Chain A
Amino acid sequence: MSADAARQREITGAVTGSLRFRLLAGAAVWIALALAMAGAVLSGLFRDHVARRFDAELTTHLNQLAALADTGADGAPVLRHPLSDPRFRLPLSGLYWQVNDTGGPRLRSRSLWDEALALPPDEPADGEVHRHVVTGPADRRLVVLERSVTLPGAPAPLRIAIAGDEGEMAGVIAAFDRVLWLSLGVLALVLIAAAVVQVSVGLRPLVRLRAELAEVRAGRKKRFGAVAPSEVQPLLEDLNALLDHSEEVVGRARLQAGNLAHALKTNLAVLANEADGLKPENARAVGAAIGRQVAEMRRHIDHHTARARAAAARGLPGIATPVADSAAALGRVMAKIHASDRVGDRVAVTVRVPREHVFAGERADLDEMLGNLLDNACKWARSRVEVTSRLEAGGMLAVSVDDDGPGLPADRRGAVLAPGVRLDESTPGTGLGLAVVRDVARLYGGDVRLSDSPLGGLRAELVLPVADGS
C-alpha cells in the first residue's frame, strides 16, 4: 500500500519535474486565461451593442407613433394611419404599441390582441423618454419606452408607449456567445498544439544529449562531441572535464594496481622458492628471508596506495586543507605512539603554523606526508620537534619539520629519498616514508628538501602548492 503510494508519488514527481510538463502546463494556463478574458470582454461588448440597437429600434417606433397620433373628431386620440412595421398587426408578435390618456389605455396595437400593457404610474415631462421593464402578454418580459405627447385641442397630454420582447435580444446574445466560445476553444487547442511543437523543438538538444550520454555510458564514446545551445554548452564542457578527470584517475589507479601486482609477484616468487627449499636445518635462515620479503611487500603496498590516493585528488579544484589543523592532529598522534618507544623522556612536538597557510590538496595526503616526516623526526629527536611554515615565491608553501637529533650527513640525504632505503635497521620503520612523501609531494607539483636544522638535527622541508586565498 505504502509502496504503491510511494511509486505514485515518484511518477507524479517525474511528471511534474519534467521540463516538458512545466513548459506545457505554463502555456496551457496562460492560453486559457487570455482566451477566457478575451471571451468575457467580447461577450460583454456585444451584449451592450445589442441592447443599444434594441433601444434605438424602439425609439424609432416611438417617434413614428408620436408623429401619427392625432385627436379625433370626438376629441379621442386616433392614429392618422397604422404604423409601418407589420409586426404591430401580428398577434403576440413581440412588438407592441399603446396610447394612454388620463383614464387609461385608449388605443393599442393589434398585436396586443385583447390585453393591455400595464404601464407603471409615471408622468414623463415633455420630450423625455422613460424606460421600463414590465410583464406583458403570455408572461413575456417586455422593454417599454414611453413619452408624453400633448396634441392640439386635447384636454390632457397622452402617454404613448412602444414595447419590445426582451427575449429577442437574449436569443441573439446566446447565439453570438455560442459561436464566440466555440471559436475561442478551437483557438486554444491550436495554440496549445503550437506550444507542444515549440517545446519539443526547444528541448530536442537535451534529448540528443541524453542519447549521447547513453553512448558515453555504454563506452561507445569517450566524451560529448556535439555543440549544444549556449545555455547547455558550459554544462557539457564541465561534463567533459569530469570525464577526462575520471579517465585519468582510473588510468592511474590501473597503473598503480599493475605496478603493485608486478612488485608483489617478485616477492611471491622468492617466498615460493624459500618454501620449496625449507628443511629443518635451514629453518632459521628461511624464516629470516620470509621476514625480509614480508617487510618489502608491506613497503610496496604503502608506496602504491599512497600514490594512487594522491593521484586521485590531484587537480580537483576547491580542495583546501589548513596545514595547522593537520599538524596539530598529528602532534597528538605522535605524543601517543612515540610514548611507547621511550621510557621517561618524551619528545615535545611544537607546531607554529599560521592558520592562513592552506595547502591546495587533500587532508589525507597532507596527513600522509607530514605524518611520515614527523614520525621520522620523533624517532631521531632527543627532546624537541618543531613544525613551522612560510610562504615561498610561485604560490608555494614550505612546511619545515625540525628535530634536535643527530642529523644526517649531506652526502647521504639523496639516498634516504630513494624507495626502500633504511638508514638504521634498529629503529623500527619501513624506510619508505621519505620516498612516499616525495612521490606524493611531486604529484602535487611540490617536493621534499633535506637540510641542517637550527635545532641541531635534520630539517625536512615540504614544498607544496598554496590554496587560493592564503
Chain B
Amino acid sequence: MRLLVVEDDPALSRQLAGRLESAGYAVDVADNGEDGQFLGETEPYDAIVLDLGLPRVDGLSVLRNWRARGIAAPVIILTARGAWTEKVQGIDAGADDYLAKPFSMEELLARIRALIRRSKGHASAEIACGGVVLDTRSGRVTVDGQPVDLTAHEYRVLAYLMHRMGQVVSRAELTEHIYAQDFDRDSNTIEVFIGRLRRKLGVDVIKTVRGLGYKVEEP
C-alpha cells in the first residue's frame, strides 16, 4: 500500500512518515500544496493524508482540484482546524475522513486502514483467503492460525494482492503500490518477493497469470 502525506510542518511530517512506514506502508511526502497536488495526480496512491494550511496552494483547493480531475483516492484531512464548520467544508470538498490535531497516531492508522479497506470494497478488518488471514489492524499474517514472519516489502506485496483479491494485478501496478517515489525500483525483485511469499505461506494462494501478472484466490 502506498500513501501520500501532504504536510508542511517538517517535524510532524517526519513523525507521520516514520510511523506509517513502520506500519507497512510505502510513503511519499510533499511539503506544499503544489507538489502535493502534482504527486496526487500522477502517482497511484491507495490513500492520502492532507493538511489544510499549506504553502502555495491551500489543502481544500488541492482536494477540489483532485476531485475535479477524477482522482478518486481516499483522502483523510489532518488539520488544526477542528471546528465542525470546517469539517463540513472539508467533507463537502471531497474528503473521506477528517481528523483534528492534536491526534493520536493509533487513531490515524486505524482510520487510514479503514479508508483503504472500504475503498477496495472490504467490510472487515481481516481479509482471509485459503487459510491465509491478513489482519490490517495489527499488520500480522497467519496461516491456519500460525503467525508468519514477513519483511516490510513482502507484507506490502501480500497486503496489496489480498486487498485486490480475485483480480489480476500486473507487475507494474504492484511495483507502483509498494515502493515510494524516490525508491530505486527493479521489477525483477517482485518475482523474488512472490517466490519468498509462496515459500513462507506454504499455501498456494498467489497464482501467476501468464503475461498479465498475479492474482490471489482460493487454492
What is the 8 Å Cβ interface bit string for chain A, positions 361-389, against chain B (1 contact, 0 not)?
00110011011100000000000000000
Determine the chain B residues whose CB is within 8 A of the CB of A337 once the complex forms. 87, 91, 97-98
Interface window among B17-25, B111-119, B162-170, B208-216: B111-119
Would you list which residues of chain B between 62 and 93 have a CB under 8 Å from chain A? Answer: 82-85, 87-88, 91-92
Q: Roughly how many angstroms separate A339 CA and B111 CA in the complex, as a whole number? A: 9
Instruction: Tell me whether B102 and A294 are in contact (CB under 8 A).
Output: yes
Q: Contact between B84 and A336 (Cβ–Cβ < 8 Å)?
A: no
A309 CB contacts on chain B under 8 angstroms: 83
* B84/A333 in contact, CB under 8 A: yes
Residue of B82, B88, B114, B115 touching A333 (CB-CB under 8 A): B88
Q: Does A216 contact B (CB under 8 A)?
A: no
Q: Is B123 part of the binding interface, using a Cβ–Cβ cutoff of 8 Å?
A: yes
- How would you classify the secondary structure of chain B's contact residues: helix, strand, loop or mixed? helix
Which single member of A343, A364, A368 contacts B125 (CB below 8 Å)? A343
Q: Does A428 contact B (CB under 8 A)?
A: yes
Interface hub of B91, B96, B115, B124 (most chain A Cβ within 10 A): B91
Query: With A294-B102, A298-B102, A333-B98 as given contacts, are A340 and B111 in contact (CB-CB < 8 Å)?
Result: yes
Q: 1/0 per residue A127-153: CB within 8 Å of B?
A: 000000000000000000000000000
Q: How far is the CB of B85 from chain A (nearest CB, A)?
A: 4
A469 contact set on B, CB distance < 8 A:
none
Interface size class of A (residues with CB under 8 A): 20 to 34
Chain A contact residues: helix, strand, loop or mixed? helix
Count chain B residues whose beta carbon lies closer than 8 angstroms to a beta carbon of A: 22
Q: Is the pair A367, B83 in contact by a Cβ cutoff of 8 Å?
A: yes
Which residues of chain A are within 8 angstroms of B114 by Cβ–Cβ distance? 339-340, 343
Shortest A256–chain B CB gap in Å is 15
Mark interface residues in A392-431 (1 if CB within 8 Å of B CB, else 0): 0000000000000000000000000000000000001000
CA distance A368 to B81 in the complex (A): 12
Chain B residue, CB-CB nearest to A291? B104
- Out of B84, B95, B107, B118, which one reaches A428, CB within 8 Å? B107
Nearest CB of chain B from residue A53's CB, rounded to whole Å = 89
Which residues of A sit under 8 angstroms from B125, Cβ to Cβ?
343
- Assembled-state Cα–Cα distance A302/B107 (Å): 19
Is there a chain B Cβ closer than 8 Å to A329's Cβ? yes
Q: Is B110's beta carbon under 8 Å from chain A?
A: yes
Q: Is the CB of A339 within 8 A of B84?
A: no
Contact of B97 among A340, A363, A372 (CB under 8 A): A340
Cβ of B118 to closest chain A Cβ, rounded Å: 7
Whether B85 and A363, one on each chain, are in contact in the complex, defined by CB atoms closer than 8 angstroms, is: yes
Within 8 Å of chain B (Cβ to Cβ): is A318? no
Q: Are B91 and A343 in contact (CB under 8 A)?
A: no
* Nearest B residue to A335, CB-CB: B91
Min CB distance B203 to A, Å, is 25
Chain B residues in 8 Å Cβ range of A294? 102
Q: Is the CB of B84 within 8 A of A330?
A: yes
For B92, the chain A residues whose CB sits under 8 A away are 329, 332
CA separation between A209 and B87, bound complex, in Å? 45
A367 touching B95, Cβ below 8 Å: no
Cα distance, A343 to B97, chains bound together (Å):
15
Q: In the bound complex, what is the Cα–Cα distance between A335 and B107 (angstroms)?
A: 18
Using Cβ atoms and an 8 Å threshold, which residues of chain B touch A372? 84
Asked if A344 is an interface residue, CB under 8 A from chain B, the answer is yes
Chain A: CB-nearest residue to B112:
A340
B97–A332 contact, CB under 8 A? no
| CB <8 Å contact, B88 and A330 | yes
Within the complex, the shortest CB–CB distance from A421 to chain B, in Å, comes to 19
Q: Which residue of B lies closest to A329 (CB)?
A: B88
Measured in the bound complex, the distance between the Cα atoms of B88 and A428 in whole Å is 20
A365 (CB) vs chain B CBs: closest residue: B85
Contact A367 B88 (CB under 8 A): yes
B84 and A370 contact, CB distance less than 8 A: yes
- Please indicate the chain B residues that have their CB under 8 angstroms from the CB of A332 in the complex: 88, 91-92
Bound-state CA distance A364–B107 (Å) is 26
Q: Are B98 and A343 within 8 A (Cβ)? A: no
Contacts of A370 in B (CB 8 A): 84
23 cross-chain CB contacts under 8 A: A305-B83, A329-B92, A332-B88, A332-B92, A333-B84, A333-B88, A333-B91, A333-B98, A336-B98, A337-B87, A339-B114, A339-B118, A340-B110, A340-B111, A340-B115, A343-B123, A343-B125, A364-B83, A368-B85, A370-B84, A371-B84, A371-B87, A371-B88
Interface residues of A (CB under 8 A from B): 294, 298, 302, 305-306, 309, 329-330, 332-333, 336-337, 339-340, 343-344, 363-364, 367-368, 370-372, 428
The 4 nearest A-B residue pairs measured at CB: A371-B84, A340-B114, A367-B85, A367-B84
- Known contacts A363-B85, A370-B84; 14 additional CB pairs below 8 A are A298-B102, A306-B83, A330-B88, A332-B91, A333-B84, A333-B91, A337-B91, A339-B118, A340-B110, A340-B114, A344-B124, A367-B85, A371-B85, A372-B84
